[in-house]
Amino acid sequence: MNSNIYAVIVTYNPELKNLNALITELKEQNCYVVVVDNSTNFTLKDKLADIEKVHLICLGRNEGIAKAQNIGIRYSLEKGAEKIIFFDQDSRIRNEFIKKLSCYMDNENAKIAGPVFIDRDKSHYYPICNIKKNGLREKIHVTEGQTPFKSSVTISSGTMVSKEVFEIVGMMDEELFIDYVDTEWCLRCLNYGILVHIIPDIEMVHAIGDKSVKICGINIPIHSPVRRYYRVRNAFLLLRKNHVPLLLSIREVVFSLIHTTLIIATQKNKIEYMKKHILATLDGIRGITGGGRYNA
């Protein structure tokens, strides 16, 4: 048993079949599993009770991914975790996923390591978005057989982190609730000179958004209007954070407006998306943080 590696899974009204499959894969790869449940319409207590090497923390309401991850991190560290890896509720991993990441970190003295991501529907690699200290973005296109490389940011799912990083950088920013949580934290790491090691030999299937549309060559993920609220509001909140490059924050504010405009032009519930964008803009300017209007 890799007793020093803990997997933190944040759930929100999950499909039990997918969640159980991930838990089984993690246990088979000798991970302790911590499930932090944000669900609002049912509880996992009866579903996951008494499963060996699985610790369930039910929050009873949607506290956001940042707070849920922090709760999982603190529990794991208290239990002696040397490394913590994060997953979404519908993540799936392949054989030796955990072992490969952990061995790479040990051999290369890496503080953070993650896989490359394959689109669930289109079966192609997602490019890695590297953000420079001046805020300029650089897309790193992944090819099969590519050697490991470093990036300033990655998404949290599938990312393994050494415990000392949390001691140096701190925990996830609960003010952001959901969107940009991993980006903000990675940029904090960059501020301390800590980069993410990306290992193309380790792959993970991933899907962004409920669905997406391609307009004028731009791939737009289509989330719910409430999720768009957090995306737009948090783009404004990034402007308040000194370690986030100003150019990046301005870009995200501008692109949030462009994306919302394109979503309104192509989706049915136009008024709802418009309302959420206006409210998000006002709340972002006012500095409203956390769950705000919609954590229930």
Three-state secondary structure of 31-99: CEEEEEECCCCCCCHHHHCCCCCEEEEECCCCCCHHHHHHHHHHHHHHCCCCEEEEEECCCCCCCCHHH
Q: How far is CA 122 from CA 52, 132, 133, 179, in A?
A: 36, 29, 32, 24
For residue 40, the model assigns a pLDDT of: 78
Whole-number Å distance between alpha carbons of 37 and 19: 11
Strand 149-151 to strand 160-162: parallel, antiparallel, or no bridges (unpaired)? unpaired
pLDDT at 296: 45
Evaluate whether 213 touches 129 at the Cβ level (below 8 Å).
no
- pLDDT at res. 52: 77
Please give the average pLDDT of every successive group of 10 residues along the chain, which has 296 residues.
Answer: 84 91 95 93 70 87 96 98 96 94 98 91 83 94 92 97 98 97 98 98 76 73 91 98 98 95 92 96 97 72
Beta carbons within 10 angstroms of residue 94's beta carbon:
13
Predicted confidence at residue 50, as pLDDT, reads 61
Rounded to the nearest 5°, which phi and psi values hold at 92?
A: -135, 140
CA-closest candidate to residue 91, choices 205, 203, 200, 181: 205
How many other CB atoms are found less than 10 A from the CB of residue 273?
22
pLDDT score at 53: 82
Q: Are 58 and 46 in contact (CB under 8 A)?
A: no
pLDDT given at position 49:
59
The structure's pTM equals 0.94
Structural domains in the chain plus CATH codes = 5-206 (3.90.550.10), 211-286 (no CATH)
List C-alpha distances in Å: 242 to 11, 78, 135, 167, 245: 31, 30, 12, 20, 7
